[in-house]
Amino acid sequence: MSPRLAMPALLRNWQPISCRTYSSGRVTLAFDLHQPAKGSSPEHAPIIFMHGLFGSKKNNRSMSKALARDLGRDVYAVDLRNHGDSPHNSRHDYMAMADDVAGFIKEHKLSKDLTLIGHSMGAKTAMTLALQLPDLMKDIISVDNAPWDVALLSDFGKYVRAMKNIEQAGVTKQTEADAILQEVEESTPVRLFLLTNLMRPKGETKQKFRVPLDTIGASLGHLGDFPFKDPEAVRFEKRALFVRGTQSLYIPDEALPVIGKFFPRFELADIDAGHWLIAEKPEEFRRVVVDFLQPAE
């Protein structure tokens, strides 16, 4: 998600293994399995890593590899529904995405000592699942998002409209698509990020987007929301780490009391970066996560 949003209304040389899960009743999530060079130890539970809006498992490839190496744990970088190589579905909200991840955990018979890591949209998915089914995991790491409702600005709507214009224009080159995106987004890194979703279907010359633009566009009005409103009714009593980009608006100081009510054992780690802190400060992020997850001596 973009770091630009309104203040919350509440408070003014190794390759991954590419796989796909199959199950009934839920969207099946595509994933990359990143494993330690010497293999994971049976006592080391896996990590599930979730991307943000318009992202994919590819965004977290380097970090997943580093965490697998440093922690000796398998890291499953997943594509959430309507993103990457995962199937499309007309429903796109946090309860549905959390249910997909619960199905992924069940399908793979993953240990209940696992860790959830999520950035932005993936962070709210992780928080939702933690509050709904806390027994499925040992701890969570929420990256630059908080458990409350926010009002997103119009950036994403502009992105979706520009992406639709790109498809309608029948572009055959990324440079053509980038020229259209420049009309709504001046940041080259943001445009390149959005264009990671551009692909050329087999046998065709025109490029299209992997994400279902109509579905994403229709979901924008509620993707800033959080499905749980009453911290007195539901809490995650296990460890939780909230990683905040100090140049981002997603976790202002006003959010900390709310986080504490839903996640009473939470810890806060500040990184001098914007919303895309994993990409901006990867070493700082890796160190923070490893320190939090490293077994005590």
Contact assessment for residue 103 and residue 26, using Cβ atoms and an 8 Å cutoff: yes
Distances (CA, A) of 121 to 51, 148, 233, 267: 7, 12, 23, 20
- How far, in whole angstroms, is CA 229 from its chain's centroid? 21
Known catalytic residue at 51: no
- Count other Cβ atoms within 10 Å, centred on residue 132: 17
Find all residues with CB under 8 Å of 156, minimum gap 6, and list them: 1, 2, 53, 220, 223
Query: Which residues sit opposite 115 in a β-bridge?
Result: 47, 139
Known catalytic residue at 248: no
- Backbone dihedral angles phi then psi of residue 101, each to the nearest 5 degrees: -70, -40
Give the integer Cα–Cα distance in Å for 135 and 112. Answer: 7
Q: Which of 44, 108, 119, 275 is flagged as catalytic?
A: 275
Q: Which of 56, 120, 142, 219 is flagged as catalytic?
A: 120
- Catalytic site positions: 120, 275
